Structure 1
């Protein structure tokens, strides 16, 4: 009996001892966990890109320049209005200059004094000269107006430095204009003009010009009722526009340069017999491949369990950069700018109330710029491509920015994948926007996975894809 009682007491002591140990372990464990918390999150943190020798920061400067020196139609329209309306010109323009006197000397006086050599064409002369000056202000370092965009220079761009280094054997004294082209290269790409031309901007103006001259064209006579009386301000501007036709770039002239820059063309009667010396035939394949690599990169980026590889994007950037450099000769320094000036004038004419009165437009459709409804109305009247000009305009804007960021980046000597990764992240909205609009316009999805990408028509010129889409409708 005594032995049994002793065993019971021993068991109780052991139980209390075990429970005390468990309690001790539990309390110490809680204390340890509270002091050594490991947080596991299913969320990707922001990546920090390592900068090698400041090259990355220079690329970021380039991207700021591209965005800040973009020609915006709304600002352009305000600028033209300030010039065409003397009562408001000083109030609007002097904000961009050091003084009103400087404003008159640098802006108003050259515009009013430089007239085209045709009778009664003063209004169009003012429009043309003001547009040229506006583009010069945006693109050129030679002007002395206090536009904020001119505070950013590309004179230290590695790519520009490399070009200047290759010319050091030539003993040249550069004038202000030539120095400006080195430090402030004109940020204008013909891809902007190409997509607007595919969107029927030029064809719309040609139809209005023919009707103004009473010239009957093939197809529908949709503008029979368009009679602009001479009391309308637009009447005299159209007169000057038509008189100045001989001084504008022709459709074949632009088409040849499209081939030289990007290996693309437009389809039409005016350019049926093109015979270019050079055609950058590999550009479309390389550029679309870059966009496809970016689409894959974004899928990897959005997968929080994977780290995306930037090398495929980097290699694609190198390829596109080299093809663009091959086409940057002869008319490269001037034709894109002149072509943009001419199309800006056409956009301004189409935005006038007189054109709206005759062509009309669907009020409930959202447009970002005032000239766009006129183009869509003309396309509807003539039975042209039903895809809205909105999509072509976005392709023009996004395409130009992307190509500029590739052309003036020093991609040939960059070997760090994080450079390409940051480029892809920086331009993600533009790239994905371009891919979507391209599918709407051509019917081709550039974001498809690799097996589908190889089988589809990704490398065919956009004009052929658009023609094929129209034939299937």
Structure 2
């Protein structure tokens, strides 16, 4: 493209053609290279002129244009005279002075000393250098180099699939040759402007990102890979679908860790270390629980005489629950165990995130502008709904008198679910303790003869005084009706029995059972698909069901939600501990050869046998309590309302698969309703478990 200039008179127009090539023997064209055209003054004497000395005085900038794809640029419409043409990129290159006569054409060659070169060798997959032509399955190793003074400034654009092996020059790239055929490979060296030697006031202002380019083609003709004869047995295997890592994997790991820490055997170990013969062993164990216990034991006073032993038991249990339910404050992750658990579920580990602690910290969201405290994304969503409400910084008793969010409640919610208490109450834990305390008070059982007639606990044993304190403190414990109202408020489930008064619920979760059981059925379908290595399991139905259950549960997270579940947990842990006392072996005929996972459980089953209650083992109710709590915590505290990709639901189902299948089995064993079938009975799915249990008890009594 020619550029016209104003020229006086009728002089014939001259032109200059510039060709820019690399200065090495290959001489590749330099495209998009900006060339400055200066006109010498009329009285210019070229004698002794040196272009390397910079721009002489009196030279006038006429134009500045880039070269085309072939490294060529034409300047037309010139009058006869001397002109200076300057290459404006790196490396610094002396300009060329040229004279052109009126009506004539001059050709100028610029050869910057770039020395760009590409050499390719063929290697086997074992990095063995090959002298034959390339074949599919080989590796092309290309070595690129340029002039030494350009190492820090030149940019290289490799062809697709080429991977740089190391930094520095010469640059080495590796390309795996997947397919046979003609493979066109283009390497591009990009050269920035040399602004240090060509200031804008003298040479004009090219675009900021102007880059000159040298293209090197490195085509390969790849032959077919030679067939390899195979003999013997050939094994082919398929693996399950890989899944991407999601941030809430760390939350579910924290929930699993926290719920396992709250289990009775861990609580029993804590009590043994605190009060038993093991109190001097493992001084580092339960340090946080011990510290909190000593802080609160003198604050929990009872207005009754001779109840110190029970008061200490209550304070120790409260300390244990408060420390282990607030796991988000400082999660106790076990890197090896947690990664092994994920590996068994075919879920990605936390190595790429720098460990599970870093992954969990990254999952949390900052609270407030300064972000010094971090909270779960779900609770951050709740916080953003009320931006005008202050967050109270201290967790002191006085904060409860002020208006605002308690920061510790936002940052460290107590991860317990009331469904744990519900299933243990259905398993007759509380009723067993009530039967013992009634007999302790010399109240006759309604049954004739009294099955506990021989229960006589002498005052020489610690259990006697413990039961005395437990009875005296009855007015300070939750009643069955208070718990029942809250079961209905959280999950729409209720207890049945003579002790339950006529209930007048103000708010109930009538859709919880149906939606939760629907989720469990969808998980069963998902597991079958996920185990089939020829298909990719569809997790979108699971995601939609999770969002539905999360919505229903969040509607019940009000009023007593913040305190009643943990209070019920404290009271029932104490009941379990009392029943686990060795003295009860003398009063309740237990089956020694049955391996119960927790020592209080055989006492409950023995009481059920004596009283003629349900013959379903408390083991199933305990499993429903543990698995149900873990599943619902993973649903409640996930930010499911913001999730639209199925990967999180995919990971949730895989992560909690043992708990889901364990819950389904325990529910069938306890109620007779199968939740793992693909076809559902909507009436049975939505029926209250207490009604199902009553039907089974009636059938049991009829067949007795």
Q: TM-score, normalised by structure 1?
A: 0.85
Equivalent residues in 2 for 1:62-141, closer than 5 Å: 62-70=251-259, 71-85=262-276, 88-89=278-279, 91-97=281-287, 106-108=292-294, 110-111=296-297, 114-140=300-326
| Distance (whole Å) between structure 2 residues aligned to residue 190 and residue 163 of structure 1 | 21
2:543 paired residue among 297, 310, 314: 314
Matched, 1:394 2:623: yes
Q: 1:90-239 residue pairs with structure 2 within 5 A?
A: 91-97=281-287, 106-108=292-294, 110-111=296-297, 114-140=300-326, 148=332, 155-176=374-395, 178-220=406-448, 221-239=450-468
* Partner secondary structure for residue 305 of structure 1: coil
Change (3 A) 1:147 1:317: closer
The worse-fitting range, judged by mean Cα deviation, of 301-310 and 356-365 is 301-310
1:110 deviation in Å? 3.5
Q: CA 1:36/1:409 → structure 2, altered by over 3 Å: closer, same or farther?
A: farther
| Structure 1 residue 108, shift from structure 2 partner | 3.3
**CA, structure 1 residues 414+42, in 2 after alignment: closer, same or farther (shift >3 Å)?**
farther
Q: Mind listing any 5+ residue stretches in structure 1 that lack a counterpart? A: 1-29
Q: Which of the two has higher C-alpha Rg?
A: 2
Q: How far apart are residue 163 of structure 1 and its match?
A: 1.4
Q: 1:174 to 1:244 in 2, by over 3 A?
A: same
- Structure with the larger strand share: 2
Helix, strand or coil: the match of 1:176?
coil
Q: By how many angstroms is 1:35 displaced?
A: 8.6
CA distance in 2, matches of 1:188, 1:194: 12
| Residue of 600, 607, 618 corresponding to 1:378 | 607
For residues 386-436 of structure 1, what are the alpha-carbon distances to aligned partners after superposition, in whole Å with 9 as ceiling and x for unaligned? 000000000000000000000001111101112111110111110001001
Q: Tell me the equivalent position of 1:334.
A: 563
Residues 1:321 and 1:434: Cα distance change in structure 2 (over 3 Å)? same
**1:431 matched residue in structure 2:** 660
Q: Which structure exhibits the higher relative contact order, with contacts defined as CA atoms closer than 8 Å and separated by 6 or more residues?
A: 1
Question: Relative to 1, partners in 2 of residues 1:330 and 1:312: Cα closer, same or farther, differing over 3 Å?
Answer: same
Structure 1 residue 106: Cα displacement: 4.3
Task: Rate the CA distance shift 1:304–1:272 in 2: closer, same or farther, 3 A.
Answer: same
Correspondence for 1:268 among 465, 489, 497 = 497
**Residue 639 of structure 2: SS of its match in structure 1?**
coil
Q: Which residue of 61, 66, 71 maps to 2:250?
A: 61
Are 2:240 and 2:531, in contact at CA under 8 Å, matched by a contact in 1? no
Moved more, 416-425 or 368-377: 416-425
Distance 1:123 1:147 in 2: 32
Q: 2:689 aligns with which of 456, 462, 466?
A: 462
Asked if 2 retains the 8 angstrom alpha-carbon contact of 1:96 and 1:147, the reply is: no
> CA separation in 1, counterparts of 2:377 and 2:295?
38
Is the 8 Å Cα contact of residues 392 and 407 (structure 2) preserved in structure 1? no
Deviations 1:10-29 (Å, cap 9, x if unpaired)?
xxxxxxxxxxxxxxxxxxxx
TM-score, normalised with respect to structure 2: 0.58
Q: Distance in 2 between matches of 1:321 and 1:432?
A: 20
Contact 1:265 1:463 in 2 (8 A): yes
Q: Distance in 2 between matches of 1:158 and 1:118?
A: 46
Kept in 2, the 8 Å contact 1:42–1:304? The answer is no
Residues 222 and 108 of structure 1, relative CA distance in 2, 3 Å threshold: same
Describe the shift of the 1:330–1:93 C-alpha distance in structure 2 as closer, same or farther (beyond 3 A).
farther
Q: How far apart are the structure 2 equivalents of 1:467 and 1:393?
A: 18
Deviation at 1:247, TM superposition (A): 0.1
**Where does residue 304 of structure 1 map in the other structure?**
533
Q: Matches of 1:141 and 1:461 in 2, distance apart?
A: 32
Residues 88/253 of structure 1: CA separation in 2 closer, same or farther (3 Å cut): same
Q: How far 1:172 moved relative to its partner?
A: 4.0
More helix by share: 1
> Retained in 1: the 8 A contact 2:258–2:327?
no
1:258 to 1:373, Cα distance in 2 relative to 1, 3 A: same
Structure 1 contact 199–392 (Cα < 8 Å) conserved = yes
- Shift of the 275–114 alpha-carbon distance from structure 1 to 2, 3 Å rule, reads closer
Q: Specify the alignment match of 2:477 in structure 1.
A: 248
CA distance in 1, matches of 2:271, 2:585: 18
Deviation readout 1:344-365 (Å, 9 max, x if unpaired) = 0000000001112211310111
Secondary structure in 1 matching 2:692: helix
Whether contact under 8 Å (1:283, 1:320) holds in the other structure is yes
CA RMSD across the alignment: 2.6
Question: In structure 1, what is the Cα distance between the partners aligned to 2:425 and 2:460?
Answer: 31
How many residues of Structure 1 are paired with residues of Structure 2 in the alignment? 429
Which secondary structure does the structure 2 equivalent of 1:33 belong to?
coil
How far apart, in 2, do the equivalents of 1:114 and 1:433 lie? 38
Q: Of residues 610, 624, 635 in structure 2, which corresponds to 1:406?
A: 635
Gap runs ≥5 in structure 2: 1-223, 335-356, 365-373, 397-405
1:229 Cα deviation from its structure 2 partner: 0.3
Tell me the CA shift for residue 218 of structure 1: 1.7
Q: 1:121 to 1:298 in 2, by over 3 A?
A: same
Aligned equivalents of 1:104 and 1:309: distance in 2? Answer: 47
1:25 is aligned to none
Distance 1:104-1:266 versus aligned 2 partners, 3 A rule: closer
Asked if the contact 1:264–1:462 (Cα under 8 Å) also holds between the matched residues in 2, the reply is yes
Contact map agreement 1:111 1:129 (CA 8 A) in 2: yes
- 2:88 paired residue number: none
